[in-house]
Structure 1
Amino acid sequence: MQPRNMSMSGVVDLAALKAAGEAKAKAEQARAQRQDAGAPAPSAASPLVIDVTEETFESEVLQRSSEVPVVISFWAEQAEQSKQLNETLERLVGEYAGRFLLARADVYANQLLFQQFGAQGVPAVFAVLAGQAMPLFQGAAADDQIREVLDQLIAVGEQRFGIVGAPVEAGAAPAAAATPEPRPATPQELALSAAHDALDAGDLGGAVQAYRNVLADEPANAEAKLGLAQAELLQRVQDADPQAVRKAAADNPADVPAQLAAADLDLVGGHVEDAFGRLVDTVRRTAGDDRDAARLRLLELFDVIGADDPRVVTARVALARVLF
């Protein structure tokens, strides 16, 4: 399986997108409280690999996630693939030297935690940033794929939440790091940052326009494309009445706009397979402009989730079958 169940213009699941500003403020408040109390930053003084339980989850993961990205690996003794993935992650956490922490969770000893994260099986890998949980990937993955996801996670922590971790050697006390010379932001970076800020502030119209401005100058900017897809999706559902939308879709299976609206709600609500399945069925039942509308909306939702997500791969195959 491919390791990106994480769309990276920000930390996104969509709920985290809408709460990013609040989460960043909480993270900054937590850091300030620790500084006032004279407490060390958890990421600097603690091991890079921990075994987390339901009882220690708040202190070992949630609180520490305000200082450093925490990667959670759900594993089981009977699942050899999950143990192999843990070995890979343990090696990588040493290489990344404090830029993220690894929390291993035995699913049989932590079934409630496993269920709360909504994992479908093991191995399953999630992350927590500033108290915000998000899926990373499920199943086996190659080193380069895992590194790509980790790099994206760390970048999001820095750019969206102000979380930079504490680079140290595993098992060593942190040394004072030299302050790097700041690099002036490019105009493209400033424009992208403005788009992210608008999205965090709930200014969806402003975010849509800002992402379009970035793409006008840089059409291949993947981060801007993803941000635009997310902002447009949130804009479509922000005033929707979920009950009315779902009733209209159930009562009128042939009503393409009703099915599009319901699929948007499905995705925002985390029912990714339902959203994709609904639109694939709509493509299958329709023709002409209606079919094109359903197909294009499905492709937009693929962009929101990420092309490498296994659910997107499966839905692309299903779409191809009904089209050809």
Structure 2
Amino acid sequence: MNAVNHVVEVSVENFQAEVAEKSKQVPVLLEFYADGAEPSQQLAPLLRRLADEYQGKFILARVDIQQNQQLVQQLGVRTLPTVKVIFEGQMLENLEGSIEEPRLRQVLEQITMSPMERVREQLNVFLDAGDRNNAIEMLQKVIAEEPNNYALHSELCDLLILEGRVDEAKQIIASLPPDSEGINKPKTRLEFLDAAASLASVTELSASVEAQPEDIQARFDLALALIVDEQVEPALEQLLIILKQDREWQEQMARKTMIKIFDLLGAGNIVATAYRRKMFTFLH
């Protein structure tokens, strides 16, 4: 979609079609400007650049205040620049005076999110607060509305496993297509649970490793127990030590296990990024 499609001049005559109607499908930024006015000249290039960058995720509707006094009065425009954000027929934001690019981007990121992105944002809010129960309830409600969104099913399974509701998770996994998006995450977590099921406690395994630091199997068992206990960074530290002790042990089991943990943590995770770098530095 090019600039012609998502930047439009608005008047009283086309306001209903270009703003009111189109805002039902896509957010509209209503820019009030005046030719020759310095505030307008400063803001206009930024808005056009953002409109081009977002490629139709919002419409930039420009109102020349000198030619459209009726709209100015009806919408209560008091100063330049003024940008009003309209979505689904409602005014969401009224930005007046000097408007910096970071503020505009913050508004745009919020209003251009897809419904699924909004779900994931709220999910992250719950998880960052350690509130898995509400995260699970939210996912269950969304899945009821979008039963074919298998990525959400996978995310739900992973949270159920973390909450100890393993049988529920297994039942859901068994009902999903084997190539469902994100399905490897709960499957990997179940693998770790199974591998650690017969192991001693973290305290006992830590004592064993301290008594026999060269015992690679004991250290690997400790790493598995730490993973299941959600002590991911200490687990990665133990696996890194194994790499240094014997990188080829059990067909590079330490490296393969670290990669599985990175996948569990997800792209962009700070811990995963740090230990991926450490692993790469050691191996290469």
Higher relative contact order (CA 8 A, sep 6+): 1
Give the TM-score normalised by the residue count of structure 2: 0.46
Give the TM-score normalised by the residue count of structure 1: 0.41
